[in-house]
Structure 1
């Protein structure tokens, strides 16, 4: 990939494209606002200062993209304006990714913008996007990590350990799961995306020995069964099975997580989650 000139890629309603592929349109630069903290400060009449109640949260933030457009004639200018709107606005979140950070994407919403006409056919404009989640995330989920390496889309800033061949599918009773995110993966309080796919025979108990979070299924799996812990919701062969569980969930700390699984033979476990970045 050529990094000499920045490129901006988007995925809108299932269609992927590069903005510069549109005749006359030139992407110039991208700026991402710093994380926006949300505090809950409480004051006490008998103490100096304030105290933070609960965890500090991260709010929505903005992304800004600068463009330059040069038209062939006035008709071209009007048609291009309509095409730019068509590419930027959707009823769904848009995925943005740029060439200087190719392994990370952002789910955003385009805000209204104004064009500055430089002459009869040229204009420049800046589009601001809202990023509701406050996070950027990896281009693919953990169990598809090989596609990042295969396409040379990994990068500095993804916190991937040097020289480590990371795995997210396991067939042993004790293994380690690496979370390179800037935050703890928390499917309970933060509703983070985390799927744990479990196959095997027996009654599984899985524990993250790093933080003592654990999940238990109180019925036996057969060789034909698939148990998916979708965040905090357990699904056995696609149907809810919460009554047959401990109503627990797993949380992944930053860095290495030491996982133990008991009560299961012929183990086949996959951890699938996007890496989250500030």
Structure 2
């Protein structure tokens, strides 16, 4: 079975190997998580005390097969592959192997050469640097359903009634299918909470971990407020000064959320996977 490989630069359309050159195939992909434990030394105490643990950048090793009929075909294909992979900016990759997961990477130097003199194929490995050290769901939480973006390895198999949009409710549950907590404060994770149809101020609280956020200004039913990580925007204008500078963190698994009054609220974030 042929495994395809997809690339996306910024807001541009996603493209595949076939769009780069013909007869180019992904053979395998390999990546291993990397974790770092940091300890603190006390000169009067044996050993060291644990301080914190972080996920480190990883390398995504992708092996490709290129078939060509003539040397001219080889040179043209090599040019097109180098042009596609050798980009300065961070870009997104995913494969048919786990098409519901994406990585954001940069390319390390690599070479392409025929396997032997006179051959019509070349196998080569590209080391993509993954600075975050993690993978993300292809779709955001409010886009995933059992008919769209639902795949193996996403921690969703036993989750009924997946929902991230609530209206006229003051308490509900949010499921974080990630391998880790979604923390927009300490880890700068992507979490957007969009609030509409609120009157007066509003407090959102995650009673699972006691994180909360309060908008102290006046809201009416026509206003839209977005808590984007730790920054607040009202009707597309920065407005964190009207808040208590709080934030919402989502623990792994179920999170109990409360509002102090009814509103239309949506939690949107990519799930994060460490392996």
Unpaired runs of 5+ in structure 2?
none
TM-score normalised by structure 2 residue count? 0.92
Partner of 1:38: 36
Query: Superposed, which structure 2 residues align to 1:109-124 within 5 Å?
Result: 109-118=106-115, 119-120=117-118, 121-124=120-123
Cα distance between partner residues in 2 of 1:218 and 1:45:
48
CA change 1:26–1:5 in 2 (3 A) is: closer
Quote the RMSD (CA, aligned, Å).
1.6
Contact 2:171 2:259 in 1 (8 A): yes
CA distance in 1, matches of 2:217, 2:39: 45
Q: Offset of 1:161 from its aligned partner?
A: 4.0
Partner of residue 219, structure 2 = 221
| 1:95 CA displacement | 1.2
Q: Report the counterpart of residue 139 of structure 1 in structure 2.
A: 138
Within 1, Cα distance between the matches of 2:28 and 2:18? 12
Corresponding residue pairs, total: 268
Equivalent-residue separation in structure 2 for 1:72 and 1:17 (angstroms):
24
- For residue 93 of structure 1, what is the aligned residue in structure 2? 90
User: How much does 1:20 deviate?
Assistant: 4.6
Aligned residue number for residue 234 of structure 1:
232
Question: After the TM superposition, which parts of structure 1 deviate over 6 Å for at least 4 consecutive aligned residues?
Answer: none
* 2:250 equivalent among 232, 249, 252: 252
Q: Distance in 2 between matches of 1:26 and 1:20?
A: 8
Deviations along 1:31-52, one digit per CA (max 9) or x if unpaired, are: 112x211222223334332211
Counterparts of 1:23 and 1:80 in 2: how far apart (Å)?
Answer: 8
Instruction: Report Cα offsets for 1:99-156 as digits up to 9, x if no partner.
Output: 121111011111111224223342111000000111100001111113xx434x4222
Counterpart of 2:150 in 1: which secondary structure?
coil
Q: Does structure 1 conserve the Cα–Cα contact (< 8 Å) formed by 2:231 and 2:240?
A: yes
Secondary structure of the equivalent of 2:270?
coil
Asked if 1:24 corresponds to 2:23, the answer is yes
CA contact (8 A) 1:20 1:27 kept: no
Tell me what 1:204 maps to: 202
Does the Cα contact within 8 Å between 2:2 and 2:25 map onto a contact in 1? Answer: no
The match for 1:273 is 269
* Number of the residue aligned with 1:154: 150
- Give me the whole-angstrom Cα distance separating, in 1, the residues matched to 2:81 and 2:126: 11
The residue correspondences of 1:59-78 to structure 2 (distance < 5 A) are 59-78=56-75
Structure 1 alignment gaps of length 5 or more: none
